[in-house]
């Protein structure tokens, strides 16, 4: 086994205190996703959208990487082959755990994007609807986040990595949001073995070749130790 692609979702950051979306009490039970996670919602009420992401940025800055983030960084450092992390998360906990090869397919809270000219720059702690873009000066700036109906980032690179992987692992994601939800099918179609690590199996039985059930902070470090010992 030489190449591992790991998809992470909100469940990997849950034990760092960052909320998931679809679990009981998750973010979508407190916020209307149409209002805060769509381009149309941003046009209707940019103040509300900035408020939502400013609060999540503040939570992220208070949070620390947990044992699952640290174990995945250890895997990247110690595994003899390639380990690519593809994350749907917009927090920076993989990077703060020491991971380097991380693709943020849904963007990052640390990034700002001009909706007028596509200029990108590091986001301040608090973004505001009337703040001008440092590039074109137009006051139409947004967090650099991929909302529903927008094309996720790095799709070509992810497809290429999936096609040549020796193992695909999904950690802490419900598998309800596409295109990430389809990566397991792409991997299986390419003959790549698949593993899910989650509190409980997501989706239909048999979706993954193998499932490890348990909290990410316990299941991921145990799995990583086995992979490093070459007994995954
Ligand atoms: C633990 C744990 C612990 C808890 N240990 N585990 C109909 C059919 C198919 C597709 C579509 C459709 N209608 C629309 C679409 C497309 C749409 C989509 O998929 N919608 C579905 C809802 C049906 N997708 C899109 O629009 C995407 N773009 C796209 O498709 O572009 C193509 C295109 C564009 C234009 C024209 C034509 C085509 C974009 C999706 C963007 C998603 N954005 C969000 C919000 C922004 C980021 C943010 O605010 O953070 O991203 S939605 C939200 O869900 C967020 C997440 O990244 C994403 C995935 O959630 P995740 O990570 O899986 O979290 P949960 O809460 O769902 O699950 C947590 C899991 O953890 C659970 O399983 C728990 O058990 C587990 N867990 N604690 C281990 N301690």
**Average pLDDT, 10 consecutive residues per value, the chain (232 residues):** 96 96 90 95 96 96 98 97 97 97 97 96 96 96 98 98 97 97 96 97 91 98 95 60
Which domain CATH number covers 46? 3.30.1600.10
Please tell me the distance from the alpha carbon of residue 199 to that of residue 11, in angstroms, as a whole number: 8
**How remote is the CA of residue 184 from the centroid of ligand 1, in Å?**
14
Please tell me the distance from the alpha carbon of residue 39 to that of residue 60, in angstroms, as a whole number: 23
Q: Whose CA is nearest to atom 1 of ligand 1?
A: 11
Q: Are residues 214 and 173 in the same domain?
A: yes
Q: Are residues 11 and 33 in the same domain?
A: no
Domain count across the chain? 2
106 is catalytic: yes
Q: Are residues 177 and 210 in the same domain?
A: yes
- Decide: 93 in ligand 1 pocket, CB within 6 A: no
Q: Whose CA is nearest to atom 55 of ligand 1?
A: 88
Displacement of CA 152 from its chain's centroid (Å): 11
**How remote is the CA of residue 88 from the centroid of ligand 1, in Å?**
8
Q: Give the pLDDT of residue 210.
A: 97
Q: Are residues 55 and 122 in the same domain?
A: yes
Which domain CATH number covers 220? 3.40.50.1220
- Decide: 212 in ligand 1 pocket, CB within 6 A: no
Rounded to two decimals, what is the model's pTM?
0.97
- Which residue in this structure is represented by tokens 């996720």? 152
Q: Give the pLDDT of residue 1.
A: 84
Which residue, of 145, 167, 193, is where some domain finishes? 145
Q: Whose CA is nearest to atom 72 of ligand 1?
A: 174
Q: Are residues 99 and 37 in the same domain?
A: no
- Which residue segment(s) compose the domain that 43 sits in? 19-62+107-145
The atom number, within ligand 1, closest to the CA of 8 reads 62
| Cβ atoms within 10 Å of 7's Cβ, excluding its own | 27
Q: Are residues 175 and 95 in the same domain?
A: yes
- Which residue in this structure is represented by tokens 């199996």? 201
Q: Are residues 52 and 32 in the same domain?
A: yes
- Decide: 10 in ligand 1 pocket, CB within 6 A: yes
Q: Whose CA is nearest to atom 40 of ligand 1?
A: 148
Q: Are residues 139 and 219 in the same domain?
A: no
The atom number, within ligand 1, closest to the CA of 215 reads 5
Q: Whose CA is nearest to atom 16 of ligand 1?
A: 178
Q: Give the pLDDT of residue 231.
A: 62
Q: Are residues 219 and 126 in the same domain?
A: no
70 φ/ψ angles, rounded to the nearest 5 degrees: -65, -40
Q: Are residues 193 and 161 in the same domain?
A: yes
Which residue, of 145, 175, 201, is where some domain finishes? 145
Among residues 104, 106, 119, 154, the one annotated as catalytic is: 106
Going edge to edge, which strands form the sheet with 141-145? 120-122, 107-114, 141-145
- Decide: 111 in ligand 1 pocket, CB within 6 A: no
Q: Are residues 167 and 215 in the same domain?
A: yes
**How remote is the CA of residue 170 from the centroid of ligand 1, in Å?**
13
Q: Are residues 86 and 35 in the same domain?
A: no
């Amino acid at each position: 086994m030489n190449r591992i692609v790991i998809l992470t979702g909100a469940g990997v950051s849950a034990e760092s205190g960052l909320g998931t979306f679809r679990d009981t009490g998750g973010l979508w039970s407190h916020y209307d996703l149409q209002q805060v996670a769509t381009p149309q919602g941003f046009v209707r009420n940019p103040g509300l959208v900035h408020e939502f992401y400013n609060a999540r940025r503040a939570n992220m800055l208070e949070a620390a990487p947990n044992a699952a983030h640290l174990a995945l960084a250890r895997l990247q450092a110690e595994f003899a082959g390639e380990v690519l992390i593809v994350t749907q998360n917009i927090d920076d906990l993989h990077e703060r755990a020491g991971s380097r090869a991380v693709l943020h397919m849904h963007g990052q809270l640390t990034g700002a994007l001009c909706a007028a000219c596509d200029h990108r720059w590091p986001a301040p702690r608090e973004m505001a609807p009337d703040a001008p873009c440092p590039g074109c000066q137009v006051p139409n700036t947004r967090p650099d986040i991929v909302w529903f109906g927008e094309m996720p980032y790095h799709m070509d690179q992810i497809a290429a990595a999936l096609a040549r992987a020796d193992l695909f692992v999904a950690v802490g994601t419900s598998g309800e949001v596409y295109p990430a939800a389809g990566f397991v099918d792409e991997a299986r179609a390419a003959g790549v073995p698949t593993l899910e690590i989650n509190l409980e199996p997501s989706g239909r039985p048999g979706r993954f070749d193998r499932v490890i059930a348990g909290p990410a902070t316990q299941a991921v470090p145990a799995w990583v130790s086995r992979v490093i010992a070459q007994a995954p």
